[in-house]
Amino acid sequence: MSTRWTSRLRRFLAARLSPEGALGLHLTAGLALMLLAIVVFHEIAEAVMGAGQITVIDLQVAHWFNQHALPWLTSFLLVYTDLHGVLGALIWTSLLAAYFYRQRASYWLFTLLIAVPGVMILNVLLKSVFGRMRPSFEQPLLQTVLDTYSFPSGHTATSTALYGVLGAYWICRTAPGAWAKRTAIALLAFLMAALVGFSRIYLGAHYLSDVLAAMAESVAWLAICMAGVSTLRRRRAARSTT
């Protein structure tokens, strides 16, 4: 009985960790990343709603940047954050969608069109659930009046999804052994999204925890989208060969 159970467990693990299987390594890795991101988001959200230590850090960071702002950096980040607002995100998504269409990368196009709009909708829902007020200052750097909730950051979530899809696409386009190039692409994609998050903190639009939670939220959603589309593609490929 023990031998039979062990044999079944080995077959199950082999199927889950096989790169070739339709329900193998890609789906397993995607689900693992999703669960990890959800745990991170939950921990941050619980600390924020419970007025934990992170809320003290939020206030300290927000007021430090407000009091030590540099004119040239403020000007740059105002432009950068505007380029990644709702309109900017839709424009960048449309341009990337057109590129995927011209490259006949239909699965990447599908991933993009469910990842970015999907995380935007998810973010609106989460904001309404948590209802956290935005930072306030006597002399705000951001002159625009923001009448939406703060947690989590919509700019950051959308940018993480957008650059996540773009980075994953280019990583898949590189040679399997080109780890240095793949690492550089992943790092660049992360930095582009992280800079959006930093701009939101620096300008006083969001707290640090808003940005961290938004990245976790977006990673979880992106993992679901990419794992789902990858599994669909592999199952269709498997059926076409039978």
pLDDT tens figures, 121-177: 999 999 999 999 999 888 888 878 788 899 999 999 999 999 999 999 998 888 777
Overall residue count recorded for the chain in this entry: 242
Q: Give the model confidence (pLDDT) of 7-35 as tens digits.
A: 554 554 344 444 444 444 566 777 888 89
Phi, psi of 25 (to 5 degrees): -60, -40
Estimate to the nearest angstrom the gap between the alpha carbon of 71 and the chain centroid: 29
The DSSP call for residue 84 is T
Place of tokens 């794992």: 227
Predicted confidence at residue 198, as pLDDT, reads: 97
Burial 206-236 (b: 16+ CB within 10 A, else e): bbbbbbbbbbbbbbbbbbbbbbebbbebbee
State how far the Cα of 10 lies from the Cα of 217, in Å rounded to an integer.
Answer: 33
Predicted confidence at residue 242, as pLDDT, reads: 56
The DSSP call for residue 176 is T
The domain segmentation of the chain, as residue ranges, is 23-240
Q: Give the model confidence (pLDDT) of 72-110 as tens digits.
A: 999 999 999 999 999 999 999 999 999 999 999 889 999
Predicted confidence at residue 20, as pLDDT, reads: 47
Q: Give the model confidence (pLDDT) of 173-225 as tens digits.
A: 887 777 888 889 999 999 999 999 999 999 999 999 999 999 999 999 999 89
Burial 150-162 (b: 16+ CB within 10 A, else e): bbbbbbbbbbbbb
Q: CA angle at residue 118 from 115 to 124, to 5 degrees?
A: 140
Predicted confidence at residue 112, as pLDDT, reads: 96
What is the reported pTM?
A: 0.83
Helices and strands, counts by H and E, the chain: 9, 0
